[in-house]
Structure 1
Amino acid sequence: AAVPGMVGGMLLHCKSLRRFEHSGGWIKTLLDEAENERMHLMTFMEVTQSRWNERALVFTVQGVCFNAYFLAYLASPKLAHRVVGYLEEEAIYSYTEFLKELDKGTIENVPAPAIAIDYWCLPADSTLRDVVMVVRADEAHHR
């Protein structure tokens, strides 16, 4: 999910340099979003204790999505941003369902990983539920 912010920020940066125009803060906003989404991935990769094959899958999907989103953004930045907005809405729904499963006990509410506690300045005794709450809030902010 970090790909759209990175691609959009990169392409706006290049456009700004070509036209000698200020982006109105959009470059920083998109790159900050990419960083935030990267932290979501890093956090959940740590929670799941991902293996090499899962990391390889992330690497492969990232390569495909980067190129696809790059081409989509070149063709229609407005449409590309709309697609991301839709994906963020779906992410909010997914995290809400995740919270329901945590509350039912279907998914174990393990302690929050240190990376999440540090990044979101969470209390030391935070749990996975606390992490999902802040991640869902991030997704709501991104749409």
Structure 2
Amino acid sequence: MSKVSASCHCGAVRFEVEQPTQVLDCNCSHCRLYGSLIAYYPQRDVHFASPPDTFIYMWGDRELEFHHCRTCGCATHTTLVGTVDAEKIGVNARLIRGLDPKRVRLVQKNNGNDGIFWTHTESPVLPSHDAPPSE
């Protein structure tokens, strides 16, 4: 695997990760409105150039922290509330420079519970963790 660089629009939040093999297209209202595609890594494998200067937005069950650059507002990454060395955090793969979408598996998750996605994949859509039981 090779390391790839990523940054928000203004460059204030920069990090390096291994090139992702898969990204998640979540259609919850936050990810859909920001256009995020999420790549997951152990937190210790995400190397920020300096401590990220972000503001945190939380909603719903208030278990996820959505980090945004304080300067340009880009959605940069997500963490579980109160974790410092989490098993995984999500980084916005759209910030990765030179990432070839054709070389990365796309997984869709229906957290918006409407089945609507801007992306296209042949893989089945994963159900929301809040999806009602099937009949």
Q: TM-score range by the shorter chain?
A: under 0.3
| TM-score, with structure 1 as normaliser | 0.20
| TM-score, with structure 2 as normaliser | 0.20
Report which of the two has the higher share of strand.
2
